[in-house]
A and B are shown apart, each in its own frame.
Chain A
Amino acid sequence: MALGGIIRGKRTTLRTPTEDDLGAYGRWMSDMRVRALVRPWHEPAMPATWKERLTEQTKEKNGALWSIEADGGVVGLVRVGFGWEPHRDTAHLHDLVVDPDEWRKGHGFDASLALHRYLFDYLDLRRVTVNFTVENAGARRIADRLGYVEFAHKHEVHFRDGAYVDELELLMERPVWDERWGKTEREYQPLGAR
């Protein structure tokens, strides 16, 4: 479960991360445009340290990491944690980072839709949750379009640029997925009656 397999979107592909992706990971985590919006998935570090982090991620039993690829290059990462034993029927979207130079091209939504298709239509989960700051307009647009609803508004959580900013908690339930996306988004075509 520690590293994700292939999930195909229309314009992006979520795939297993490799050591070749780590240079890009390091660039994004040291980019102030990213850090203003999200807590970094690890701080900037030596290449050897990033390799160790990837090795540690492979041992992670409660989540999975994917690289997001588009147009033949890595353009982002996504990391998901799975719910508690014994049910393990929910997931939390810990990180969704898109290369700031690739923003506003639709990669984030395309990758998110593909990921949620995998979570609901393949893993059969009951719910997915996410949190992000009130300033993260891109995340908000993606969440609204997918069908997330807000269930908490937390105050003064994320610290950037010398001040705190609020953070939202949102969730998306399986019935919402089924109603909004279930007819058009499938991991596989139905087998039909045999």
Chain B
Amino acid sequence: MFGPRIIGDDGVELRTPTLEDYHLFAKWQLEPAVTRFWGPRLQDEPPSGAEERMKKDGESRTSLLWTIAYADEPVGFTGIFGIDWVRRDGETGIFIGRHDLYGRGIASETVRLRMAYIWNELGLHRTHNWIALPNQGSWRANKKSGYAQVGTYPRVGFRSGEWIDEWLGEAFPHTFPQDRMPPPWK
């Protein structure tokens, strides 16, 4: 599934991805400046694979994906994945592909919009995520919208001579701060 358009504050909005966005997603994930806490920076599909991947994502009943736009330009993606409709649980994630835009609050606003949609429109009971502990911007953004740490997974990834732990978080509808609820749910 893809998410609908949700307009937030300060020039941030979530919108339904386009094929052009998918080409950007693939390109960003090969960039060293934005993948320190991401995957192995290897491409496992040909350029033509973006269309097939987008089709699969759109048809999935267990995931939901948005493009993050800032000042009307695509700058990343976010969503919820591996949704278990019996447990009503899923894993959330966010990727900002523009290093030059770090620190502007894009992640915090994205998480706010995403979580408001999940609680008000998907009817889920719980969400969870695993974030590199040194990636403070990411887990702080999640905490502002109701995530709390439930554990630390030690020595998960190795980057530049050091092991990196992961921050394990979870959120529930009742942990979302009601004074931060965006329209149209406010």
- Please measure, in the bound complex, the distance between the C-alpha atom of A159 and the C-alpha atom of B89, giving whole angstroms: 10
Chain A residues 95-117 with CB under 8 Å of chain B are none
The total of interchain contacts (Cβ-Cβ below 8 angstroms) comes to 47
**B87 proximal to A (CB < 8 A):** yes
Cβ of B36 within 8 Å of any chain A Cβ, yes or no, is: no
Report the separation of the CA atoms of residues A153 and B128 in the bound assembly, to the nearest whole angstrom. Answer: 12
With A152-B168, A159-B86 in contact, is A85–B151 under 8 Å at CB? no
A159 cross-chain contacts in B, Cβ below 8 A: 86-88
User: Do A152 and B151 have beta carbons less than 8 Å apart?
Assistant: yes
Interface presence of B143 (CB below 8 A): no
Cα distance, A126 to B2, chains bound together (Å): 37
In whole angstroms, what is the CA distance A85 to B39 when docked? 9
Instruction: Enumerate chain B residues within 8 angstroms of A151, measured Cβ to Cβ.
Output: 151-154, 168
Take A85-B42, A86-B40, A169-B168 as given contacts and tell me if A157 and B89 are in contact as well, using a CB distance cutoff of 8 Å. yes
| Residues of A142-194 whose CB lies within 8 A of B | 151-159, 164, 169, 171
State in angstroms the CA–CA spacing of A67 and B106 once bound together.
49
Given A151-B151, A159-B86, does the pair A164, B125 have CB atoms closer than 8 Å? Answer: yes
Q: Are A84 and B170 neighbours in the complex by a CB distance under 8 Å?
A: no
Tell me whether B176 is interfacial, beta carbon within 8 Å: no
- Determine if B71 is an interface residue (Cβ-Cβ < 8 Å): no
**Size of interface on B: residues with Cβ below 8 Å to A:** 20
CB of A152 within 8 A of CB of B87, answer no
**Chain A residues near B154 (CB, 8 Å)?**
151, 171
Report if B37 contacts A (CB, 8 A): no
Q: From residue 157 to 183 of chain B, which have CB atoms closer than 8 A to chain A? A: 158, 168, 170, 172
Given contacts A159-B86, A169-B168, whether A154 and B153 have CB atoms under 8 Å apart is no
A164 CA to B87 CA, complexed, in Å? 8
Q: Is the CB of B150 within 8 A of A154?
A: yes
Contacts of B158 in A (CB 8 A): 87
Asked if B87 contacts A158 (CB within 8 A), the reply is yes
A residues in contact with B87, CB < 8 Å:
39, 157-159, 164
Of listed A39, A86, A151, residue having the most chain B CB within 10 A: A151
Do the beta carbons of B89 and A155 come within 8 Å of each other?
no
5 residue pairs, one from A and one from B, having the closest CB atoms: A152-B151, A152-B168, A159-B87, A151-B151, A152-B150
Which residues of A does B touch, CB under 8 Å? 39, 84-87, 151-159, 164, 169, 171
